[in-house]
Amino acid sequence: MKVNKIMAGKLLLSLVIAFGLTATSCSKGSSSKNSSRATGWKINDKKGGFQYASNFKKQATGPGLVMVEGGTFTMGKVQDDVMHDWNNSPNQQHVQSFYMDETEVTNLMYMEYLDWLKRVFPPDQENYKNIYEGASPDTLVWRNRLGYNETMTNNYLRHPAYANYPVVGVNWIQAVEFSKWRTDRVNENTLEQQGYLKKDAKVAATADKTFSTETYLAAPTKTMGGDEEIVLKGRRNSKAKPGKADKDGNVQEPKNVYAQRTSGLILPEYRLPTEAEWEYAAAADVGQREYNIYKGQKKYPWSGSYTRSGKRQVRGDQLANFKQGKGDYGGIAGWSDDGADITNKVKSYPPNDFGLYDMAGNVAEWVADVYRPIVDDEASDFNYYRGNIYTKNKIGEDGKVEIVTAETQVFDTLANGKIVARNYPGEIAQVPVDEKETYLRQNFDKSDNRNYRDGDKQSTRYFKFGSSEEGDETGKQKDTQRMYDSPVHNVTTDSLGNMIRKYDKSAKRTTLINDNVRVYKGGSWRDRAYWLDPAQRRYFPQDMATDYIGFRCAMSRVGPKADKKKRPRN
């Protein structure tokens, strides 16, 4: 009996020891939150090494944005085609999750942009005289040969009565520049709050000390003019301490002291939404979803086939701001119809199922895409976008990125004579990608892809494979052999700086389509209900503005498609 007890005790002891060894080996083999699964090294070690935002949870929602969960939808499916445009061929597309402005960009928002430009780049200085003017909306778009609209010409942009009305008179190029400026201001504010930038330095910014997101990421020591009192080494509210001296008396600089992509603090850029994103967000078919199918296609951003509300309290009221008939922009006096004659204050009408306001009516909106009559879903059915021009950072003779200065800043003279800034001091100069990036690649082979598979040389009947006469030495085709025979206007300056406008008077032009016309979506206060369908599409020159086209910004989402688990029903 004793022998059995001893044997049982030894067996139990060996099992305990074996279990302990197994647990020990497992704990050594597995990696904790602060150690690498690849190497076992400690992550975020104070002594140096790999630093990573291991406590990152999800992308922060930028100011003014609403989350739009991505998915599949039928793009270009219109209910009517009374215009017989034949440019809305239905095709199935998938859009990644993204963020979009809850409302259109308002006069107040754009005025903040103009105020910043005026303070940082004073128009009375020779180097900067064209910056403020080039960004200013064209207030003369309100004028009409046979209409009295001087009140809007003089007041619409700046009067506080119109503060929360959508900005108009902004061309596509200006809308893009506003989006870039907004990116930098939002990230600048975030880094200041996190202690990476000196508090309130953004308020005292000058032309030679401006914040650029891309400059900060690529060359933080050159940000804000290289001022170390503004761009802080290490977070102000952290425990970062100056480096200690080694045995030879050399002081080691602290490492990983600037925010990086891996910090998870820098938001992706604000930008114009793509046509696919805008149409997907406007349609908001998610409101008609059951399980993994859509219960029908909506004609408007709201459910139903009518433009008037069926709710008891506001029955008969229009659900958007649009032209209801010839000479009827807002109904008769004393009756709550659409409540506006021109544009209306944002959030005046109910949002769609994504929580977005005015995705039909009020103002039409610029999107990022270059216009073509078809959407090439055979080439791409994922995040479709026509307009990619790939660039890279310009490297100077010293082997480092080249920062734009007041002397190297570039301005563009548009076809209508307006001068706009292509870049700003403090940014990194950009150049087109070259063979170093494109050689033997399968996914792209050149910088400018605006006319890929529709309008490039290979698309024309004049193209001859293997011929040496595909174009001149500059790669340009003869004027008579262009895919889209659009007018070619030109603006130059003479030796005295006088502007010379050369208007294309040719009577042989067959189209207005070229690589500089952009899509705009949605109806406006000037449009009939026909244009309220999210799938409708039109185009306009990117350097021209109107009194009925505005815009809103979007931002890509990084990380998972959605924060919540899928739900079987609505």
Cα–Cα distance for residue pair 244/238, rounded to 1 Å = 17
Homologous superfamily (CATH) of 66-182+267-450+519-570 is paralog of FGE (formylglycine-generating enzyme) (3.90.1580.10)
- Looking at residue 292, what is its pLDDT? 81
State residue 307's pLDDT score.
85
Which pLDDT does position 367 carry in this prediction?
98
pLDDT digits (tens, 9 = 90+) for 144-162: 999 999 999 999 999 999 9
For residues 539, 544, 546, 550, the Cα torsion angle rounded to the nearest 10 degrees is: 70
Q: Give the pLDDT confidence score for residue 569 in this predicted structure.
A: 61
What is the pTM for the complete model shown? 0.88
Tokens representing residue 54 in the block: 């291991």
Strand pairing report for 65-68 and 98-101: antiparallel
- Of 357, 324, 327, the C-alpha closest to 338 is 324
If you average pLDDT over every residue of the chain, what do you get? Answer: 85
Count of CA atoms in the C-beta half-sphere (13 A) of 325: 4
Which portions of the chain are predicted below pLDDT 50?
1, 16, 19, 21-31, 237, 239-240, 468-475
Tokens of 142: 């309100």
Tens digit of each residue's pLDDT (9 = 90 or more) over 347-361: 999 999 999 999 999
pLDDT of residue 235: 61
Instruction: Indicate the pairing of strand 293-294 with strand 289-290.
Output: antiparallel
The owner of tokens 């030679």 is 208
Q: Cα–Cα distance between 340 and 348 in angstroms, integer? A: 10
Q: How confident is the model at residue 466, as a pLDDT?
A: 52
In the chain, where the domains are located = 66-182+267-450+519-570, 460-466+479-514
Structure confidence at residue 374 (pLDDT): 87
Q: What is the pLDDT of residue 473?
A: 41
Sign of CA dihedral 423, 106, 530, 384: positive
